[in-house]
Amino acid sequence: MIIDTHVHYDDEAFDADREELLAKLPEAGIGRVIDIAASAESLDRVVSLTERYDFVYGAVGLHPDEVGDLTDEVLRKMEVYINMPKIVAVGEIGLDYYWDREAHERQIEAFRTQIRIAQAHGKPIVIHSREAAADTIAVVTELYGKGSPGEHMPRKGVMHCYSCSPELAEIYTKKLGFCLGIGGVVTYKNARKLVETVERIPLKYLLLETDCPYLSPVPNRGKRNSSLNLPYVVRKIAEIKGIDEEEVIRATEENARRLFFPEG
């Protein structure tokens, strides 16, 4: 089955046809999706979706652009939700220096705080990193590298929508034990760096994701994205690696289960 490890079906972009769209996913071979929180307001919506649909799981956390809302009350809510059986990760968390909506120091502090929640509960993390490669790898190495509290965690996390160099990807995967989330961007003409990353990094470190409603793959670029577009991503990964599409689906499912669903 295909597992979409990063969706935002709680987003208002799906308000008009959410039930109709989600009903199509199992028929299309999408076995599970992980709905990822981004804001304080989205935490409740994510949990609600996991309760309504058997194949929807969730992650709770605040996107770096939203960490001004990471109050003690929100942290307490995260601590409650992270213990729910269908909440499988803390995310999406990290650093975003592109929009600069929150001070860098505040983002780093919130990133560390949310990582520690994940570590305390034995959960993987979903990392957002944009224009912040140096600080992101510094924090991750500090909290998951050799000699850190998270060094021996069996499940660490995923670099969502990976966009940095192949060399940095090798550090995240082979040295720190993280996976890379690969979505529609890999099909874009200007994605040479990501294509090289997919070519160089072993399949056992790759996960399928959409980030829907964003980042639709070619030929649907510019339109609202959904998990129904993942076969285009599968096809591109198979083309890059010179393997069958079924092998990509099988391996990425195994990777997702190992990271997010170790109990089955």
Q: Looking at the predicted structure, is the pLDDT value of residue 33 above 90? A: yes
pLDDT in tens, 140-175: 999 999 999 899 998 999 999 999 999 999 999 999
Domain count along the chain: 1
Confidence category of residue 263, pLDDT binned at 50, 70, 90: confident
Share of the chain above pLDDT 70, in %: 100
What's the pLDDT tens digit per position in 88-138?
Answer: 999 999 999 998 889 999 999 999 999 999 999 999 999 999 999 999 999
Q: What is the CA radius of gyration of the chain?
A: 17
pLDDT, position 232: 98
87 burial (CB, 10 Å; 0-12 / 13-18 / 19+) is buried
Tell me the CA distances in angstroms from 209 to 9, 55, 242, one per residue in order: 13, 15, 20
Q: Decide: residue 257, CB within 10 A, 0-12 exposed, 13-18 middle, 19+ buried.
A: middle
pLDDT of residue 149: 86
> Does the pLDDT value for residue 176 go beyond 80?
yes
What is the chain's mean pLDDT, rounded?
Answer: 97
- Phi, psi for 160 (deg, rounded to 5): -70, 140
Cα separation, 242 vs 244, whole angstroms: 7
Give me the DSSP letters along 226-249.
-GGGHHHHHHHHHHHHTS-HHHHH
Burial 12-31 (b: 16+ CB within 10 A, else e): ebbeeebeebbeebeeeebe
**Domain limits for position 162:** 2-260
pLDDT tens digits along 35-50: 999 999 999 999 999 9
Chain position carrying tokens 């965690």:
153
CATH number of the domain encompassing residue 9: 3.20.20.140
| 225 DSSP assignment | P
The pLDDT score that the predictor gives to residue 23 is 97
pLDDT at residue 125, rounded to an integer? 98
Cβ distance 183 to 208 under 8 Å? yes
pTM of the model: 0.97
